[in-house]
Amino acid sequence: MEPKFNVWIEREGQVVMSAWRADLLSAIDETGSISAAAERMGLAYRRAWEKIQEMEAGLGVSLLDTAVGGPGGGGAKLTPQARDHLDRFRAFSAGLEEEIRTRFAESFGPEQASR
Amino acid sequence: MEPKFNVWIEREGQVVMSAWRADLLSAIDETGSISAAAERMGLAYRRAWEKIQEMEAGLGVSLLDTAVGGPGGGGAKLTPQARDHLDRFRAFSAGLEEEIRTRFAESFGPEQASR
């Protein structure tokens, strides 16, 4: 048996961060564009864009600096607020898996945990 | 902002316990029947029964002692294995919410946490 978990952050009932959303922001950061990030995540561009819009609305901040058109098409990079929000979420979720595994072994015992 | 989480237990890819499944077992324990428990949970009887079957298959143990028919219809009560599994899950998840709130405040700060 093994414990599984999902953790996310809401503001006024709106999801403003999750592991999946953090991965989307990281993918935009690494690829420099929403479309390349969407492709890497196996998402439609439109869905990636909508998720970013949702997060921005929930947080009340801009998450991306976007450049439209030009040679090679537009690009997108994270705003300082987006980077801060992403870093805080990564810090928040880091260690949580280990904590959950420890609590699981305490409650179910190492022998149950390995079944 | 506030942190939200969901935690569950899998065995060989099958969900064998979750907060929702624990509530279903508790409802059967308190009402003495699957149908009364399903009604309390706002579930179809069939769905409650299927979830119990899934958990039993995943765990390889019987979770319910059931009595069929008789005056007042059949009843169901938790087996000792079900009670043990339920108690361990409750112990595992107790305190986890507090732990997650503490980690959240550490990463996002109390002022962000209250926005």
Q: How many CB atoms lie within 10 A of CB B46?
A: 10
pLDDT per residue as tens digits for the range B63-76:
999 876 655 556 89
Q: Report pLDDT for B67.
A: 76
Contact A15, A101 (CB under 8 A): no
pLDDT per residue as tens digits for the range A36-52:
999 999 999 999 999 99
Percent of residues, chain B, with pLDDT higher than 70:
90
Q: What is the pTM of this model?
A: 0.79
Residue from A5, A14, A20 to probe the interface with B (highest B Cβ count within 10 Å): A5
Kindly tell me if the per-residue pLDDT of B114 is higher than 60.
no
pLDDT band at A71 (very low <50, low <70, confident <90, very high): low
Kindly tell me if the per-residue pLDDT of A60 is higher than 70.
yes
Query: Of B5, B89, B115, which is closest to A7 when you measure between CB atoms?
Result: B5
Contact A4, B9 (CB under 8 A): yes
Contact A29, A64 (CB under 8 A): no
pLDDT band at A66 (very low <50, low <70, confident <90, very high): confident
- Which residues fall within 8 angstroms of residue B87, CB to CB, at 6 or more apart? none
Residue from B12, B14, B103, B106 to probe the interface with A (highest A Cβ count within 10 Å): B103
Q: Report pLDDT for B83.
A: 97
